A and B are shown apart, each in its own frame.
Chain A
């Protein structure tokens, strides 16, 4: 099955399934599960084959509609995007099988609406990973945004207000991005990333190029929730329905960081990004270091597991932004490896949170008492995820952090090293507090009286959780070959791990 269109079938499968889910789900709910899981399994398999194909034969470009690149829209399938394709489809597959249970529990009667939006969101993320056209990127960014607004607003409590704030911030981000693309279009007359990259160095327009670069970057930073621009993120992600949160949280920010890497290296050259404006590169690393510390500090103040996780997520975003802006091969390797490992560990922790919420109905810290006795398997997986977040050796969190720290040392940014170490320390405090609560404290009488509290989560939630925990260790142990065989090829020209 080695067709040239395979990577597009990966994208088309969830998209077409979304419509099928909407049509058939009205008739009968039983169709939804098999359809969704089948399509995503197909996507994950296709993504794996695409990655193998790229590794074997090298990167290739694909023109939609058979129009030559500056005219038509071009897709870029290089090792980095193929890796992201596999990551997105695998994470989506794991998150979905857990979401099937929790959505039936939280939103009864609206599963078909939920999963239609959900599948389109996955298709949008896969499209974002593949695209090689600056404007197409905006359209896909808006697809992922609109589906996310809808999914978040389906949550209960303050979800509607959080979703509205997200709409305002997300629109600012997208509009800034669009302005940046407009400036580049005026200067170059094309929207194709590779074509822009070819024309830009020959232009004599420093002010306009700098403006375009600034607006593209700020737009993406708003979208990914880099620290001072993060205000919408914790509310939105922690109040979404658990099924949606478990996919949005691991993927949205990571894919946006991937887009930032694309913009920095595929539209602009590394030379321009890092060297054209003195002080910018060092300034952003400083800002990222501050962001890590502030976000970690804010995480300490939270009293709800999912809110705490979202603040850790904000800190992790700053890890990766800082890692990319370290401007050396080791830092960028660390950032790319951290995209993979952070997606997996966020997935693992959010899936554990989903399982806990499915059984106990709450994630407040004082309700977590005695969870190890009641849900041993869930909490074991949670512990693996927590260790990875802290950076304990056999898990992948350690290796990516190691590369980030090594990169920071080589680039001479002690403040970034300090921030990473302090943040790891804070993570250790955060997670050991929970582990202490859940392991040593006896179950409170309050929760004992509830009928639902006994036992583990259902198998459909438990198996993706365990798989993601195993994946954390596997990626950790296999990080050497991963870097050697994939990430080394995915580096921008002129950088080596």
Chain B
């Protein structure tokens, strides 16, 4: 792993003004697009996984063009871990909440007892909420997979 990193540093991969500028410009738009894909999953191809992967890709792109530390500056390891847990907790929490409110497990229409919107609207909203959870979890895990695999678990320079 160390040897590969030495080689990569020797050839100055990613240490290029054009790439860095382009990435810096692109990243906000990629993230915006990722959010769009998550929230527009009801009406167009998309949803939690796809949007989450796009969001994760924006951080991976940062780590590729600069180095791993730069992407860690934008999102610390701790935040990332909390986001990952939060994403899964949103999903399982909503599932459990439905059961606790007297419905079946994952029966979003039971949430109607919390705020009255009508059972079918709640189904739609429930799908949206879990997609947000999925998107958060997938983004966080994709980034953490890249960090760990790219640096061999050292979390230093990366590729």
Q: How far is the CA of A66 from the CA of B123 in the complex (A)?
A: 11
Q: Does B109 contact A (CB under 8 A)?
A: yes
Contact check, A22 vs B85: say whether CB atoms are below 8 A apart.
yes
Output the nearest chain A residue to B93 by Cβ-Cβ distance: A16
Output the nearest chain B residue to A5 by Cβ-Cβ distance: B99
Q: How far is the CA of A350 from the CA of B99 in the complex (A)?
A: 37
Q: How far is the CA of A5 from the CA of B109 in the complex (A)?
A: 16
**Can you list 24 A-B contacts (CB < 8 A)?**
A4-B104, A5-B104, A5-B105, A8-B99, A8-B105, A9-B99, A12-B92, A12-B105, A15-B92, A16-B89, A16-B93, A16-B96, A19-B85, A19-B88, A19-B89, A22-B81, A23-B82, A64-B105, A65-B104, A65-B105, A65-B107, A65-B108, A66-B107, A66-B109
Task: State how many angstroms separate the Cβ of B73 from the closest Cβ of chain A.
Answer: 21
Q: Does B106 contact A (CB under 8 A)?
A: yes
Give the interface size class of chain A. 10 to 19
Q: Does A325 contact B (CB under 8 A)?
A: no
Contacts of B92 in A (CB 8 A): 12, 15-16, 19
Complex interface bits, A53-94 against B, C-beta within 8 A gives 1, otherwise 0: 000000000111110000000000000000000000000000
Contact check, B107 vs A23: say whether CB atoms are below 8 A apart.
no
Contacts of A22 in B (CB 8 A): 81, 85
Contacts of A26 in B (CB 8 A): 81
Task: State how many angstroms separate the Cβ of B79 from the closest Cβ of chain A.
Answer: 12
Q: Does B41 contact A (CB under 8 A)?
A: no
State which residues 312-365 of A face B: CB under 8 Å: none
One of B81, B85, B93, B104 near A64 (C-beta < 8 A)? B104
Q: A9-B99, A16-B96, A66-B109 are in contact. Are A23 and B85 (CB under 8 A)?
A: yes
Contacts of A12 in B (CB 8 A): 92, 95-96, 99, 105
Q: Does B103 contact A (CB under 8 A)?
A: yes
Task: State how many angstroms separate the Cβ of B48 from the closest Cβ of chain A.
Answer: 16
Complex interface bits, A1-18 against B, C-beta within 8 A gives 1, otherwise 0: 000110011001001100
Output the nearest chain B residue to A8 by Cβ-Cβ distance: B105
Output the nearest chain A residue to B126 by Cβ-Cβ distance: A65
Task: State how many angstroms separate the Cβ of B41 from the closest Cβ of chain A.
Answer: 18
Known interface pairs A66-B103, A66-B104; 20 further A-B residue pairs with C-beta atoms within 8 A, sorted by A's residue number: A5-B104, A5-B105, A8-B99, A8-B105, A9-B99, A12-B92, A12-B95, A12-B99, A12-B105, A16-B89, A16-B92, A23-B82, A23-B85, A26-B81, A63-B104, A64-B105, A64-B106, A64-B107, A65-B107, A65-B108
Task: State how many angstroms separate the Cβ of A120 from the closest Cβ of chain B.
Answer: 10
The 5 closest A-B pairs by CB, nearest first: A65-B106, A66-B107, A5-B99, A66-B104, A8-B105
Contact check, A62 vs B104: say whether CB atoms are below 8 A apart.
yes
Contacts of A62 in B (CB 8 A): 104-105
Contacts of B88 in A (CB 8 A): 19
Number of residues on chain B facing chain A (CB within 8 A): 17
Contacts of B89 in A (CB 8 A): 16, 19
Q: How far is the CA of A22 from the CA of B104 in the complex (A)?
A: 27
Contacts of B103 in A (CB 8 A): 66
State which residues 85-137 of B face A: CB under 8 Å: 85, 88-89, 92-93, 95-96, 99, 103-109
Complex interface bits, B47-78 against A, C-beta within 8 A gives 1, otherwise 0: 00000000000000000000000000000000
Output the nearest chain A residue to B98 by Cβ-Cβ distance: A65
Output the nearest chain B residue to A26 by Cβ-Cβ distance: B81
Contacts of B109 in A (CB 8 A): 66
Output the nearest chain A residue to B104 by Cβ-Cβ distance: A66
Q: How far is the CA of A12 from the CA of B98 in the complex (A)?
A: 12
Q: How far is the CA of A171 from the CA of B10 in the complex (A)?
A: 38
Q: How far is the CA of A302 from the CA of B99 in the complex (A)?
A: 50
Q: How far is the CA of A62 from the CA of B104 in the complex (A)?
A: 8
State which residues 1-53 of A face B: CB under 8 Å: 4-5, 8-9, 12, 15-16, 19, 22-23, 26
Output the nearest chain B residue to A73 by Cβ-Cβ distance: B106
Contacts of B81 in A (CB 8 A): 22, 26
Contacts of B99 in A (CB 8 A): 5, 8-9, 12
Task: State how many angstroms separate the Cβ of A417 from the closest Cβ of chain B.
Answer: 46
State which residues 385-422 of A face B: CB under 8 Å: none
Contacts of B96 in A (CB 8 A): 12, 16
Q: How far is the CA of A337 from the CA of B152 in the complex (A)?
A: 46
Q: How far is the CA of A12 from the CA of B107 in the complex (A)?
A: 15
Q: How far is the CA of A62 from the CA of B106 in the complex (A)?
A: 12
Contacts of A64 in B (CB 8 A): 104-107
Task: State how many angstroms separate the Cβ of A212 from the closest Cβ of chain B.
Answer: 28
Contacts of B108 in A (CB 8 A): 65
Output the nearest chain B residue to A23 by Cβ-Cβ distance: B85
Contacts of A4 in B (CB 8 A): 104
Task: State how many angstroms separate the Cβ of A161 from the closest Cβ of chain B.
Answer: 17
Task: State how many angstroms separate the Cβ of A21 from the closest Cβ of chain B.
Answer: 10
Contacts of A9 in B (CB 8 A): 99
Output the nearest chain B residue to A116 by Cβ-Cβ distance: B85
State which residues 28-42 of B face A: CB under 8 Å: none
Task: State how many angstroms separate the Cβ of A217 from the closest Cβ of chain B.
Answer: 31
Task: State how many angstroms separate the Cβ of B81 from the closest Cβ of chain A.
Answer: 8
Contacts of B93 in A (CB 8 A): 16
Q: How far is the CA of A22 from the CA of B92 in the complex (A)?
A: 15
Task: State how many angstroms separate the Cβ of A204 from the closest Cβ of chain B.
Answer: 37
Contacts of A15 in B (CB 8 A): 92
Contacts of B82 in A (CB 8 A): 23
- Name the residue among B81, B103, B105 with the largest chain A CB count within 10 angstroms: B105
